[in-house]
Structures are given as structure tokens and as C-alpha cells.
Amino acid sequence: MKIVDMAQELYFELGQPSDLSVPAISYWLRSNIGILNNKLNKDIIIDDTSLELLPNLGETEKSVYKKIYECYFYDLKVKQTLNAINGDSLLEVTDGGGTVRRINRNETSKIYLEAKKNSLNELTAMVNDYNINDVGPLQVAGDDTVAGSYITDKYYSIRPFNRV
């Protein structure tokens, strides 16, 4: 799967935010591949010529990578709303029968923070499931089907162990 296709999926899954674009998501995915490598204990690289991932990601790895971006997206939204709070001290004005109410950015940041926490919990569960189910042993040492032996006395008589 190409990074651009994954970025487009993310863009639509996040609800097509007006302050975000597919190329921006693609750039983030390319420049933060190390996060995925650290989470999944992989060695995925970016090809210099095609700017695509090598080797290709499976569906499980792709969903983990998309969840990593989702956590980043909500973290960015929390920071943006907290920065906007500094300039907003006025929430509601009433004059003569008309009322103007501004969005309570504090409540908005709480909603984004809750979404970020949920995404992080889902990411942790996905990484744990991946590490338990989808990863085989990296090395198998020895042969469990052959009986071992050890020397028991000074005459070097060989006796099998773990087998009778």
C-alpha cells in the first residue's frame, strides 16, 4: 500500500478537516516511520526513489500506523484549543434581547483530550495484540526432538536426560 493511499484513508476517517490535507498527512507518515518501528519492533524504511515503505505494511501494521497518526492529530487539536484560550476571556454577551455566545474552548479542549486518551488506549491495546499474536520468535535455538545427554561419572558413561 502506498503512503498516499493511507494518508487519503486517514483524511476521510478524520472527517475531512479543513485545516489538514492529504500531502501533509503523507509527509508526517514518511517522516515518523520510526515511531511505528519502535512500537512494533520492525525495521521498515522509506525507499529513496519511490518514497514508499519497504517492506509493504500488512493490514495490522497499517491500522497501528493510522492509530499513531490519530493520536498525533488529537494531540495537535488539544494544543491548538489551549493556545486559543489565552486570547478568549469572553464567553457570552447579552444586550437588549440579543445574545452572542462564543464556543467554550476549555470544554472543546477537554473533548479533544478525552478523544486523545481513547486513541492512546486503543493504540496500546493494538500494539499489545500485535506483539502477542502477529510476531513469531526471532530465533529458535536447539532441537527439542533430539534427546540430550550428559556425563555422570568418571568413566564417561552417557545417560540421556529429559527422556526415559
Separation between Cα atoms, residue 71 and residue 74, nearest integer Å: 5
Task: Determine the Cα–Cα distance for residues 131 and 129; give it in Å rounded to an integer.
Answer: 5
Q: pLDDT > 90: what percent of the chain? A: 45
Give the C-alpha separation, 67 to 62, whole Å: 9
The band of 156, judged by pLDDT with boundaries at 50, 70 and 90, is low
Is 76 within 8 Å of 19 (Cβ atoms)?
Answer: no
On the question of a cis peptide bond just before residue 55, with omega within 30 degrees of 0, the verdict is yes
**Over 60: is that where the pLDDT of 137 sits?**
yes
Cβ contacts of 1 within 8 Å, gap of 6 or more:
53, 56, 57, 62
Predicted TM-score (pTM) of the model is 0.71
Task: Reply yes or no on whether the pLDDT at 132 is more than 80.
Answer: yes
pLDDT at 122: 95
- Output Rg (C-alpha) for the chain, integer angstroms: 27
Nine-digit cell at 120? 492512546
